[in-house]
Amino acid sequence: MRFNGNKVVLVTGGAGFLGSHLCGKLLELGHEVLCLDNFYSSSKSNIEELLDNPRFELIRHDVTQPIHLEVNEIYNLACPASPVYYQKDPVQTTKTSVLGAINMLDLAVRTGSKILQASTSEIYGDPEVSPQSETYWGRVNPIGIRSCYDEGKRASETLFFDYKRQHQLEIKVARIFNTYGPRMHPNDGRVVSNFIVQALRGEDLTVYGDGSQTRSFCFVDDLVDGLIQFMESNESICGPINLGNPQEITMLELTREVLQLSGSSSKVKFLPLPEDDPKQRKPDISEANLSLNWAPSVSLAQGLEKTIQYFRTALNF
């Protein structure tokens, strides 16, 4: 099925933070976009500006249930990525990752579509090596409170590669590292949105542990470009491929950046480190450089400024 010579693209989780940006970019490229979402952790406001586009269609559906569509490409992003949401219903989180992958893979087999899995840096757990390359198998607690997400995504990767071997399916597996930007939910518990919202409200910035743990933050526009370049790459390039920004920063350094850019006089409050919280995140993106000619271009300061401005408007500050 084609639309004016362009592709029909399904984005599961398309009304989420990352999915909504991806849907918008695919429309800019001239494709017809089917946005599938059950709105468990997403918002219709994220895609409100897309609803009047004749090449955009919203489908309210849960990926744990099969669906019959005619598409050329599938981006499987459906799964809550915030600990607040995925720990709220851990059984459903695992079902979304595993059953969702099976249903989307079956759809890809039936339609002959190529399919991209939005995997995660949580594949690596609390890593013993840094930076994390795709050859590292990870250090994950299989029975902890984060396991529903970590192990669900690991099982999804297994399914993708088994479908490739068994059905000769064209797959792409992207391991996404911490991503931030406009349309993040203000209460989703992720550190960038937490710090920005707390700073704008004049509240203490909550740092878990001593603040020495690190993350590497990629602005959403860079990440979306990476996903699309990966999908459009040669069939032999299937991954897994890390997508993220290798610029590493401690949580204390991040508080200083947010406070300076927001002009806030908030203080920092230290709380106990959550169970199984990784101490370090830094992607090795040499494979993305080599295979996709991709690297992030938006600096942390530039991205934070855009994200702070978004929250100022969204929260009326």
In this prediction, residue 5 carries a pLDDT of 52
Can 75 be counted among the known catalytic residues? no
Instruction: Examine residue 254 and state whether it is found in any structural domain, yes or no.
Output: no
| Amino acid (one-letter) located at 249 | I
In this prediction, residue 273 carries a pLDDT of 79
Q: Is the separation of the CB atoms in 173 and 160 below 8 Å?
A: yes
Q: Which domain holds residue 48?
A: 2-180+220-245+281-296
pTM score of the predicted model: 0.92
Looking at the structure of the chain, the number of domains it has is 1
Instruction: Examine residue 269 and state whether it is found in any structural domain, yes or no.
Output: no
Pairwise CA distance, residues 235 & 278, whole Å: 33
With tokens 């840094």, the residue in question is 130
Q: Is the separation of the CB atoms in 115 and 105 below 8 Å?
A: yes
We report the CATH number of the domain holding residue 28 as 3.40.50.720
Instruction: Examine residue 275 and state whether it is found in any structural domain, yes or no.
Output: no
Instruction: Examine residue 193 and state whether it is found in any structural domain, yes or no.
Output: no
pLDDT in tens, the chain (317 residues): 333 458 999 999 999 999 999 999 999 999 999 999 999 988 899 999 999 999 999 999 999 999 999 999 999 999 988 777 788 889 999 999 999 999 999 999 999 999 999 999 999 998 899 999 999 999 998 999 988 989 999 999 999 999 999 999 999 999 999 999 999 988 877 899 999 999 999 999 999 888 998 899 999 999 999 999 999 999 999 999 999 999 999 999 999 999 999 999 999 999 987 776 778 889 999 999 999 999 999 999 999 999 999 999 988 87
Instruction: Examine residue 291 and state whether it is found in any structural domain, yes or no.
Output: yes
Instruction: Examine residue 272 and state whether it is found in any structural domain, yes or no.
Output: no
Q: Among the options 75, 85, 149, 163, which is catalytic?
A: 149
Pairwise CA distance, residues 187 & 207, whole Å: 15
E strand or H helix that includes residue 152: helix 147-167
Structure tokens of 166? 């068994």
